[in-house]
């Protein structure tokens, strides 16, 4: 089938496009290239433009009437930046997405897979979270994701639109061929920063937040190999109608994670184990908007999609490190 992928030039978008191709599907990429590099599109069907451009979306559907569903990944995603630039985050993540959703529904393309985030869950005593657990987003970024979830719920109740809302945990690693990976030049996510410190591109890695209510005082996350995450999207596309039917509602929530929690200190130790050298460390207070963290109960995705993660944490870290060494050749910077 053909699948429209917004943000398909980005980190997870480009890897998902490859996973779709390997499963026999055809991705159609829509990306503004605000952050995603053109190199990540390759020779795929590509439209450069804004998701809120209704005329462009209509042209895409007219030229590809066999599009079966849309994976909506286009978004601003940097938590500290969202604290500094809330207007831009609400405009691009919420207002523009509403235009896209309404236009797709009017064009008769009502199946939407939405990239949400696990960072909106409320803190749980044992840190494990299920789709039915309370949410309490702590940053403008996370609040934009929760707003979009609520918008999708309401629109789906009132129209033909149907939504599978995928709550990502923490993707790391690159695609298996090391053609695409984490691309932001000034890294803000923990594993790219750790990789750069381990490879000597940074003089140290800074642990932000050391007095949190976890077993060692540092944040806890559920790290999932980006390739496993991409394959979950393929399964969700293929099982879309069955998931909606099983849910008994016009929308469904699915956690996509490995299912165990790793603290920042434990992650540092894992990187050191994989790379075989010590990572220089500094400590600093937590950043505005950062969540303590959580890890996934992914039983629902296993039941409805027949999907669970396959890569180990060490394999995912090795992939991230391998990409860290190669990305200068691909993107022109370290």
- Element containing residue 320 per DSSP (H, E): helix 313-331
**What pTM was computed for the model?**
0.94
DSSP of 100-126, one letter per residue? HHHHHHHTT--EEEEEEEGGGBPP-TT
Q: Which residues are catalytic?
A: 141
In the chain, the N- to C-terminal Cα span, in Å, equals 36
User: pLDDT (tens digit, 0 to 9) for every residue of the chain, 334 residues total?
Assistant: 999 999 999 999 999 999 999 999 999 999 999 999 999 999 999 999 999 999 999 999 999 999 999 999 999 999 899 999 999 999 999 999 999 999 999 999 999 999 999 999 999 999 999 999 999 999 999 999 999 999 999 999 999 999 999 999 999 999 999 999 999 877 777 888 888 898 888 999 999 999 999 999 999 999 999 999 999 999 999 999 999 999 999 999 999 999 999 999 999 999 999 989 899 999 999 888 888 999 999 999 999 999 999 999 999 999 988 898 888 888 887 5
CB-CB contact of 40 with 65 (8 Å) = no
Taking each helix axis from N to C end, the angle separating 190-198 and 313-331, rounded to the nearest 10 degrees, works out to: 70
Give the Å distances, CA to CA, from 145 to 117, 157, 213, 254. 7, 19, 25, 14
Distance of alpha carbon 223 from alpha carbon 140, whole angstroms: 22
Integer Cα distance of 253 and 175 in angstroms? 25
Q: Does residue 92 contact residue 135 with C-beta atoms inside 8 Å?
A: no
CA–CA separation, 225 vs 314, rounded Å? 10
Are 49 and 65 contacting, i.e. CB atoms less than 8 angstroms apart? no
Beta bridge partners of 205: 281
Neighbours of 247 (CB within 10 A): 16
Contact 28, 2 (CB under 8 A): yes
Q: Bridge partners of 113?
A: 71, 164
């Amino acid at each position: 089938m053909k699948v429209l992928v917004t943000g398909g030039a980005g980190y997870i978008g480009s890897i998902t496009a490859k996973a779709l191709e390997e499963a026999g599907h055809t991705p159609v990429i829509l990306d503004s290239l605000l952050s995603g590099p053109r190199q990540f599109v390759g020779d795929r069907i590509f439209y450069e433009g804004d998701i809120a451009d209704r005329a462009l979306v209509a042209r895409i559907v007219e030229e590809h009437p066999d599009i079966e569903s849309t994976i909506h990944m286009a978004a601003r995603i940097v938590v500290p930046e969202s604290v500094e630039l809330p207007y831009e985050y609400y405009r691009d993540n919420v207002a523009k997405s509403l235009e896209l959703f309404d236009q797709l529904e009017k064009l008769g393309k009502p199946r939407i897979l939405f990239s949400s985030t696990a960072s909106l869950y409320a803190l749980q005593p044992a840190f494990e979270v299920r789709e039915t657990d309370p949410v309490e987003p702590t940053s403008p970024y996370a609040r934009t994701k929760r707003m979009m979830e609520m918008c999708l719920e309401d629109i789906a109740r009132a129209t033909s639109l149907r939504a599978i809302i995928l709550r990502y945990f923490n993707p790391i690693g690159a695609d298996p061929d090391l053609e695409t990976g984490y691309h932001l030049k000034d890294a803000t996510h923990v594993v790219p920063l750790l990789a750069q410190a381990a490879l000597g591109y940074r003089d140290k890695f800074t642990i932000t937040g050391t007095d949190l209510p976890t077993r060692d005082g540092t944040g806890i996350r559920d790290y999932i190999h980006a390739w496993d995450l991409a394959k979950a999207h393929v399964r969700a596309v293929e099982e879309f109608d069955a998931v909606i039917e099983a849910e008994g509602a016009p929308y469904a929530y699915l956690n996509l994670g490995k299912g165990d929690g790793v603290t920042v200190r434990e992650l540092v130790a894992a990187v050191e184990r994989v790379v075989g050298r010590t990572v220089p460390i500094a400590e600093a207070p937590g950043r505005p908007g950062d969540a303590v963290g959580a890890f996934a109960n992914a039983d629902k995705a296993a039941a409805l999609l027949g999907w669970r993660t396959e890569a180990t944490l060490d394999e995912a870290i090795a992939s991230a490190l391998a990409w860290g060494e190669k990305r200068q050749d691909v993107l022109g910077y370290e």
